[in-house]
A and B are shown apart, each in its own frame.
Chain A
């Protein structure tokens, strides 16, 4: 059974940093692209970052480029999102999501339960 378990969320002050983790199990982690998607309270889904199977290619939405960094540890089956220079508008539920293939054009077939990040003073 595929499982994605996010951790590392919480309350942080504006300008602060936070690192989210997503522990994956039930599939060969290194064979699939992975993404982070967030959802601000009462708003729609926002894709924010993706990474290739090896971790060598990373992609970002303009809203987080230069502040967030995605990475993966295939030996530990874990996806990360390092978030820095956090803003109040980064407050959201953050979802880790698994791609359905190793190729670049992957769809998100499994999602974690989401973790809340609140940026507030």
Chain B
């Protein structure tokens, strides 16, 4: 099974900051990686797929990069609504594991 390791687990930041979250895969997954945002009590929301493609309707301050085993999610200028938990997920093979999550706090 492919394991995904996110870092950091917790991130404190302020409105306007630029933040980066990293997701490392235990083996190469090409670009088969997604990023999701989840707010408390809500279902996850797809932000980025294929490592770097922005899902329709997602603000352009979100961006993704990487391939193989190392991936990053960057938020260029944090907005109040961005404080949430972020997960990566690989879709290269089954089981389609998620990372353990990164909680972004004010």
Contact = CB atoms under 8 A, between A and B. Distances in A.
Contact of A44 (B43, B45, B87): B87
A62 interface: yes
Contacts of B87: 44-45
Contacts of B99: 44
Interface of B: 1, 32, 34, 36, 38, 43-46, 49-50, 55, 85, 87, 89, 91-92, 94-101
A114 B98 contact: no
A47 B32 contact: no
Nearest to B43: A111
B38 A45 contact: yes
Interface string A99-121: 01000011111011110000000
A50 B38 contact: no
Q: Is the interface of A mostly helix, strand, loop or mixed?
A: strand
A47 B32 CA distance: 15
21 contacts: A35-B96, A44-B85, A44-B87, A44-B98, A44-B99, A44-B100, A44-B101, A45-B89, A50-B94, A59-B94, A60-B95, A61-B95, A62-B1, A62-B95, A95-B44, A100-B46, A105-B32, A108-B46, A109-B46, A111-B43, A111-B45
Contacts of A108: 34, 36, 44, 46, 89
Nearest to A62: B95
A47 B43 contact: no
Interface residues of A, number: 22
B95 A95 contact: no
Q: Which 7 A-B pairs have the closest CB atoms?
A: A111-B43, A107-B49, A59-B94, A44-B101, A47-B96, A45-B98, A61-B95
A100 B45 CA distance: 13
B8 to A, nearest CB: 14
A112 B42 CA distance: 10
Nearest to B1: A62
Interface in A59-96: 59-62, 95
